[in-house]
Amino acid sequence: MDAQVGRVLTALAALAGLPMPAGGEGTSLLPQLKDPAAVRERPAITTHNRSNHAVRSEHWRYIRYADGSEEFYDLRTDPREWTNLVSRVAHAGELARHRGWLPARDVPLAPGSAHRVLTYVAGTGQATWEGESFPAHGPIRMR
């Protein structure tokens, strides 16, 4: 189960006075539902396809892509995410903290979903989308 979905289910079960659903995981979002200003203990972590992860804390957004490239934004001063701070030494500590939230390993893809996954072939400079290969840094040709 997706961790963010698990957090929503946990919160809904708590609101309804029900026990946590089987297979439920994650920290409940109930405190934020009751008070949007409540402090969060953890950032939100999202994953798109395999090895593309984002970490969103109160003031920062960190993204690491499957090809190893990274983005890091201070949302207080750059809410539209135009200035990538990943190479700026002044933010190295905050960047390291956000890198620390990334999943230690990727879980297998859901059955039947592999054909919709953008895959980078290590060391070749090639990527695959829906069975079609192309340069990893080139455009994806949509059919």
Domain ranges of the chain: 1-38, 43-107, 111-143
Rg (alpha carbons) of the chain, rounded to whole number: 18
User: Taking the model in full, what pTM does it have?
Assistant: 0.67
| Each residue's pLDDT tens digit, 112-127 | 766 666 777 777 878 7
Alpha helix (H) residue ranges in 39-133: 92-99
CB 30 within 8 A of CB 14: yes
**pLDDT tens per residue, range 21-75:** 666 556 667 787 788 888 878 888 888 877 889 999 989 999 999 888 999 999 9
| Contact assessment for residue 49 and residue 114, using Cβ atoms and an 8 Å cutoff | no
CB 11 within 8 A of CB 3: no
* Architecture of the domain made up of 43-107: 2-Layer Sandwich (3.30)
